[in-house]
C-alpha cells in the first residue's frame, strides 16, 4: 500500500548539500527576492551592518529551529518550545544572581533545564508512545506553571550574566556577532551529527520508516528520546541568548518562536512527515523568516498582519512540499 507513495518521494535525498533540492533553492530564491524588495523600500537594506544585524537576529531563531528540525526529521513535533525558551532564559538569569559561581554556571544551568523538559517529552514520546504534539503541549504547560510560580507572575528581576550578554551581543571576531558564531558552531555540529554519525543516520531512518530502523537492531526509542532532549536544550540555549540580548528574561518571550521555528524548518524543505530535509534548508528558512519579519516591521505591518502572513506562508509551503501521500 505504501508502494506508490514512498517511491514518489525518492527523488529528494537527505543530504546536507543537495543543491537540486527545490525547496532549499526556493527558500534562497525568496531570500534574494526579499532583499531586492527591501532595497527598493530602503537602500540601507543591502548595507553590511543591516545584513549582519539580521544574521544576528536570525541566529536566535536558527538555534531554536535546529532543535525543532531534529524532532521534525523524526516525524514528530515539539510544541514545548515557548516555555523551554523562557525556562532556559529565566533559569540562567536566576543562576546568575547567585554570586560568581552562579554566573559561571548560569548558561549550563539554563540549558540543563531545557534538556530536562526535553527529556520528559522524549520519554513520553519514545517510551510511553504519547503523541508528541500532546505530550509537548503538556510539558509546555507544566514549564509555564513552574515559571509562573517562580517569578510570581511578574517579569523576573534577575538580569543576565556578563557571559550571556557577551555571547549574545559581543564580538569575538571583529565584525561577526558572537551569536552568529554560536549558531555556526551549533549548526556545524548538527550537520556533522546528521551526516557523519550513527545517530544522524538513525534520525533519518526513523523519520522514513521507524519499523525498518527498529528491525535493523537500532534502539529507536533512545534515539527519539535524545533528539527531544537536544531540542529542549537548544530551545533553552536560544532563550539564554535572547536573555543575553535583552539583558533579562521575560514572561512570554518564547511565544514568538514556536511558529517561526516550525516555519523555518518547513520552509527549508524539511518534510513535516519526517525523514527528509537538510540543515542548509533550515538555515535558509531561519534567515527567510527573519528577513520577512524585518521587512514587515519596516513596512510597519502590525502584529496582526505578521501572524496572518506566517500562517498563510506556512500553509502555502506545506501544500507545495509537505503533503501526506494520496489516498489509495
Partner 1 sequence: MKDWRYWLAEQRSALLAVGIFIFMFIIYVSNHQAGFSANVVQTSANKGVLLALVAMAQTLVVITAGIDLSAGMIFVLTNCLASWLVVGTAAETAFGVAVVLGTGLLCGAINGAIVIVGRMQPIVATIATGAVYFGLALLLRPFPGGSVNEDLADALTGRLFGVVPTSLVALVAVVLIIWVPFRRSVTGRAAYAAGSSEIAAYMSGMPIKRAKFVAYTLSGLLAAIGGLFLTFFTYTGEAAYASGNAYTLFSIAAVVLGGVSLFGGRGSAIGAIFGAFAFRTIGDLLFVFDFDPLWQPLFQGVVLLFAVSLVAFGLFRVRNRLEWFG
Partner 2 sequence: MEARPSDSAVPLFRMEGVSKRYGGVRALENAELTVHPGRIHAILGENGAGKSTLIKIMAGVVAPDEGRMTLEGKEVSFASPAAANQAGIACIFQELSLIPELSVADNIVISDPPKRFGMIDRKAQRRIAEAALARAGAEDIHPAALVKDLPLSRRQMVEIAKALARKPRILILDEATSALTAADVSKVFAVLRRLRSEGLALLYISHRMHEIAQLADECTVFRNGRNVATYKAGAKTDAEVVGLMIGREYHHIFPPRQEKVPDARPPVLECRNLGWTNRLRDISFGVKAGEVVGLGGLDGQGQRELLLAFFGVLRGVSGQVLIDGKPVTINSPADARSNRVGMALIPEDRKTEGLMLPMTVRDNLSFASLDRLGRIMGVIDRAEEQRLIDEMVRLLAIKTDGLGIPVGSLSGGNQQKVVIAKWLMRKPRIVLLNDPTRGIDVGTKQEMYQLLRRLADAGAAILFYSTDYDELIGCCDRVLVLYDGAVRRELVGAEITERALIASALNVNDPGTDRARETTA
Q: Do residues 93 and 156 touch, judged by C-beta distance below 8 A? A: yes
Q: Do residues 14 and 206 touch, judged by C-beta distance below 8 A? A: no
The residue within the footprint of partner 2, chosen from 54, 76, 151, 208 (CB under 8 A), is 208
323 touches partner 1 by CB under 8 A: yes
Residues 6 or more apart whose Cβ sits within 8 Å of residue 25: 19
Q: Which of 149, 106, 105, 121 is nearest to 227 (CA)?
A: 121
The residue within the footprint of partner 2, chosen from 24, 125, 179, 218 (CB under 8 A), is 218
Of 106 and 125, the one with the shorter C-beta distance to partner 1 is 125
Q: Which of 56, 162, 172 is nearest to 106 (CA)?
A: 162
Whole-angstrom Cα distance, residue 41 to residue 51? 15
Using only C-alpha atoms, what is the Rg of the chain?
19
How many of the chain's residues bind partner 1 (CB under 8 A)?
56
The residue within the footprint of partner 1, chosen from 97, 137, 181, 296 (CB under 8 A), is 137
Q: Do residues 231 and 135 touch, judged by C-beta distance below 8 A? A: no
The residue within the footprint of partner 2, chosen from 216, 247, 297, 307 (CB under 8 A), is 216
Pull the grid cell for residue 255: 511565544
Long-range contacts of 299-307 (CB under 8 A, 24+ apart): 299/41
The residue within the footprint of partner 1, chosen from 29, 43, 188, 305 (CB under 8 A), is 305
Whole-angstrom Cα distance, residue 89 to residue 98? 15
286 touches partner 1 by CB under 8 A: no
| Contacting range for partner 2; rule: CB under 8 A; set: 2-10, 85-93, 116-124, 261-269 | 2-10
Strand partners of residue 248: 159
Binding mask 156-185 for partner 1 (x = CB under 8 A): ------------------------------
Of 60 and 228, the one with the shorter C-beta distance to partner 2 is 228
- Contact residues for partner 2, defined by CB under 8 A: 2-3, 6-7, 9-14, 196-199, 201-202, 204-205, 208-209, 211-219, 275-276
Chain residues that interact with partner 1, rule: CB under 8 A:
77, 124, 128-131, 133-135, 137-146, 148-149, 152-153, 210-211, 214-215, 252, 255, 258-259, 262, 266, 272-273, 302-312, 314-315, 318-319, 322-326, 328
Amino acid at each position: 500500500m505504501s508502494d506508490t507513495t514512498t517511491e514518489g518521494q525518492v527523488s529528494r535525498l537527505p543530504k546536507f548539500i543537495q543543491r537540486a533540492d527545490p525547496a532549499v533553492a526556493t527558500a534562497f530564491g525568496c531570500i534574494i527576492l526579499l532583499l531586492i524588495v527591501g532595497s527598493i523600500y530602503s537602500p540601507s537594506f543591502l548595507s553590511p551592518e543591516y545584513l549582519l544585524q539580521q544574521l544576528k537576529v536570525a541566529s536566535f531563531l536558527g538555534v531554536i529551529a535546529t532543535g525543532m528540525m531534529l524532532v521534525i526529521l523524526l516525524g514528530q513535533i515539539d510544541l514545548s518550545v515557548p516555555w523551554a525558551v523562557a525556562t532556559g532564559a529565566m533559569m540562567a538569569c536566576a543562576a546568575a544572581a547567585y554570586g560568581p559561581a552562579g554566573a559561571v554556571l548560569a548558561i549550563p544551568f539554563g540549558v540543563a533545564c531545557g534538556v530536562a523538559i526535553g527529556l520528559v517529552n522524549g520519554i513520553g514520546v519514545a517510551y510511553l508512545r504519547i503523541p508528541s504534539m500532546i505530550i509537548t503541549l503538556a510539558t509546555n504547560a507544566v514549564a509555564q506553571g513552574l515559571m509562573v510560580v517562580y517569578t510570581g507572575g511578574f517579569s523576573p528581576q534577575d538580569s543576565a550574566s556578563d557571559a550571556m550578554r557577551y555571547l549574545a551581543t559581543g564580538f569575538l571576531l571583529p565584525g561577526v556577532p558572537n551569536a552568529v558564531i554560536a549558531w555556526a558552531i551549533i549548526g556545524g555540529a548538527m550537520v556533522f551529527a546528521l551526516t557523519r554519525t550513527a545517530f544522524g543516520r538513525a534520525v533519518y531512518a526513523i523519520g522514513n520508516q521507524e519499523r525498518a530502523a527498529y528491525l535493523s537492531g537500532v534502539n529507536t526509542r533512545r534515539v527519539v528520546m535524545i533528539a527531544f532532549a537536544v531540542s529542549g536544550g537548544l530551545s533553552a540555549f536560544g532563550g539564554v541568548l535572547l536573555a543575553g540580548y535583552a539583558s533579562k528574561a521575560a514572561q512570554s518571550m518564547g511565544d514568538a518562536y514556536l511558529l517561526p521555528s516550525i516555519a523555518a524548518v518547513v520552509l527549508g524543505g524539511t518534510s513535516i512527515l519526517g525523514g527528509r530535509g537538510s540543515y542548509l534548508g533550515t538555515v535558509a528558512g531561519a534567515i527567510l523568516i527573519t528577513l520577512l519579519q524585518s521587512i514587515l516591521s519596516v513596512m510597519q505591518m502590525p502584529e496582526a498582519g505578521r501572524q496572518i502572513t506566517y500562517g498563510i506562508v506556512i500553509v502555502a509551503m506545506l501544500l507545495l512540499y509537505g503533503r501526506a501521500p494520496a489516498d489509495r
